[in-house]
Amino acid sequence: EAGVAQSPRYKIIEKRQSVAFWCNPISGHATLYWYQQILGQGPKLLIQFQNNGVVDDSQLPKDRFSAERLKGVDSTLKIQPAKLEDSAVYLCASSSSGLALGETQYFGPGTRLLVL
């Protein structure tokens, strides 16, 4: 079974530029999550999708971050414009339904973003 795929693996941009990350979850998984992991910290949930609908985006900085999952499969996370403090690893995860309590989330390798 293929895992969660993410691209690119690394990205370096200058502040005020735009950047987009792509995630393809495990086949058949209804729920998709985007996390931000700043160096030395644990991952922080940015947004959770259930199929193509948003379940929780309370911690997403909506003035600069956006995410979509149009067909309920893969997803794109965008930052526009980027700030220095956006430098982090962006992790995508998926789970089969997102509805079962204690359901396992499976993580991709992450995209490491450096904003100069």
Partner 1 sequence: AQSVTQPDIHITVSEGASLELRCNYSYGATPYLFWYVQSPGQGLQLLLKYFSGDTLVQGIKGFEAEFKRSQSSFNLRKPSVHWSDAAEYFCAVGSYGQNFVFGPGTRLSVLP
Burial class from Cβ neighbours inside 10 Å (0-12, 13-18, 19+) for residue 96 reads: middle
Site for partner 1 in 26-85 (CB under 8 A): 33, 40-45, 56, 58-59
Q: Given candidates 32, 49, 110, 113, which one binds partner 1 under the rule CB under 8 A?
A: 110
Residue 57 or 68 with smaller CB distance to partner 1: 57
Q: Indicate if the alpha-carbon torsion angle 100, 101, 104, 105 is positive or negative.
A: positive
Alpha-carbon dihedral of residues 75, 30, 56, 42, nearest 10 degrees?
-80
Residue 27 or 104 with smaller CB distance to partner 1: 104
Site for partner 1 in 6-25 (CB under 8 A): none
Residue 41 or 71 with smaller CB distance to partner 1: 41
From residue 60, give the alpha-carbon distance in Å to each of 27, 79, 92. Answer: 25, 11, 14
Residue 69 or 95 with smaller CB distance to partner 1: 95
Rounded to the nearest whole angstrom, what is the least distance from the CB of residue 81 to partner 1 in the complex?
27
Three-point CA angle 26, 71, 82, nearest 5°:
85
Footprint of partner 1 (CB under 8 A): 3-4, 33, 40-45, 56, 58-59, 91, 93, 101-102, 104-110
